[in-house]
Amino acid sequence: MSLVLGVDVGSQSIKAVIVDQAGEVVSCGSAPLTMVHEHDGWAEQDPHAYCTALRDAVRAATRDVPADQVVAMGLGSQVDGVVACDAVGAPLRAAIIWLDKRATDECEQLTAKVGADLLAERTGLVADASHSAPKMMWIRDHEPDVWRHTVMLAPAGSFVLHYLSRSYAQDAANASSTMVYDVGKGDFDAELCDAAGLDPAMLPQVLPSTDVVGTLLPDVAAELGLPAKCVLVVGTGDEHAASVGAGAIESGVVVDVTGTAEPVTTVATEPLHDPQGLVETHGHAVPGTWLIENPGFVSGGSTLWLAKGLLGIPQGDIFDRARGAPPGSDGVLFLPALSGATAPRWNDTMRGAFLGLAMNHTSAHAARAVLEGCAYALRDIVDRLRALGLGDGEVRIVGGGARDDLWASIKANVLGTPVRRVLTDEATAVGAAMIAGVGAGVFRDFAAASVAVQLDPIAIEPDSAVHRVYTDAYNRYLAAFDAVESALAHGPDCAVRST
């Protein structure tokens, strides 16, 4: 029996799952990660922690299975991050991760040099400081000593891949989040790289997600408790792997992935440009397709902030607390923009807000309002996908929004359409395992690998009366967003700046 290992290199943890040839998850393990927010808009992680947590997660996953039968390994990793590495692959500073928005000036400089229209047409992206090229520019401009010794600018997945195999590589999913990659041609764009002042030779080569880059280094294999003959594939981004794990390998299905952020994705057979700039076009882990997505507002991160930062309770208790308030939270609204907004519009300087608070409101109203605010942002994106003629299939929910009955029902009632749970707890890691299995020949192709996609046979149906309540609340949410955005724009400069 051949086993494949999939790893989710996330923001709050690294998760590992082992999948057999029948598509069954036979074992799993995880290890925590921490983020550091030194300044407003900054978010960093220790790259060495990725390797340590990977070891712990894999060892936990292989504790009760025959590790010598693991034949392939794949990564589904957070995108939009930068690890500046020296000539031997050692990190020169903390990883600047996807949540970091410090490079606002650099993003504006790149956009001004090439023009917003050309940038959007070639990259498929919204010009935003969350993407990785502006972060690379920030390191160059603000940390010249680091830049002087930098040989490779790797996303988190490429850094981990190099640790495992001494090979740098990334797939189109990661490369297409840089702002210097031509998403239609499938390669880095010389004009955009020149405008950004970046050498393409400092970026990992772009290969299909399923390409085998080698086998585990012997010492790393021993550390992980895996056979050295275990092959490694290039892997992909986390939301791309989660989409694969939810069965989004061809057009139709909408996948809602609730993690620290909440990407919303669907598959297209050709690149697409959204004139409103709400959704972006990325390369997908499935060759020959593209992932049309909004890369995610802060969702699970908002529940974590409310639970630990304000209420002093475990994150999971938010859902129990929210059950004490009715649909619509008695008028309380929450805008999920604690680190800027990507819905209903992208705005780096936007910030979150509670509105409509009164003396009768309790922490239950605040908890439910956070869940509802995230569902309103989901509706922003689903509505836009369908206006573009995409995502005409069912909405599948993955992660925290799938596991909790209340949040799942809120999403169905806000959207006014059925939603279906992906039963696999770790869809990103399962998707990464599916990619590894295709690359290693364990699965013939992605269609065959879809045996690993586990869906709830019963969809969660909306309640028409509750949907009407939420339609009214959604319209107030849109008006509230406009008002808060305007107020911030006319107040003190809140744009992210380095210090």
pLDDT tens-digit profile of 475-484? 999 999 999 9
Mean pLDDT for the stretch of residues 24-35: 96
Say if residue 497's pLDDT is above 70.
no
Q: Residue 492 — pLDDT band, cuts 50, 70, 90? A: low
Task: Look up residue 247 and give its two tokens.
Answer: 């069965």
Cα-based torsion angle of the residue sequence 408, 413, 419, 424 in order, rounded to the nearest 10 degrees: 0
Q: Which residues belong to CATH 3.30.420.40 in the chain?
A: 3-240, 247-421+463-489
What confidence tens digit (pLDDT) does each residue in 193-242 have? 999 999 999 999 999 999 999 999 999 999 999 999 999 999 999 999 99
Task: Look up residue 88 and give its two tokens.
Answer: 């031997």
The dihedrals phi and psi of 171, each to the nearest 5 degrees, come to: -95, 180
Contacts of 157 (CB under 8 A, 6+ apart): 9, 75, 76, 77, 78, 79, 170, 174, 235, 236, 237
Say if residue 64's pLDDT is above 70.
yes
- Do residues 74 and 54 touch, judged by C-beta distance below 8 A? no
Say if residue 150's pLDDT is above 80.
yes
- The CATH class given to the 247-421+463-489 domain equals alpha beta
Q: What radius of gyration do the chain's Cα atoms show?
A: 21
Query: Which of these CATH numbers, 3.30.365.10, 3.90.226.30, 3.30.420.40, 3.40.50.300, describes 3-240?
Result: 3.30.420.40
Predicted model pTM: 0.90
Identity of the residue numbered 491: G
E strand segments, 269-351: 280-283, 290-298, 333-335
**If you average pLDDT over every residue of the chain, what do you get?**
95
How far apart are the C-alpha atoms of 190 and 173, rounded to whole Å? 19
Say if residue 495's pLDDT is above 90.
no
Report the pLDDT value the prediction gives residue 402, as an integer from 0 to 100: 82
Specify the DSSP class assigned to residue 306: I
What confidence tens digit (pLDDT) does each residue in 104-128 have? 999 999 999 999 999 999 999 999 9
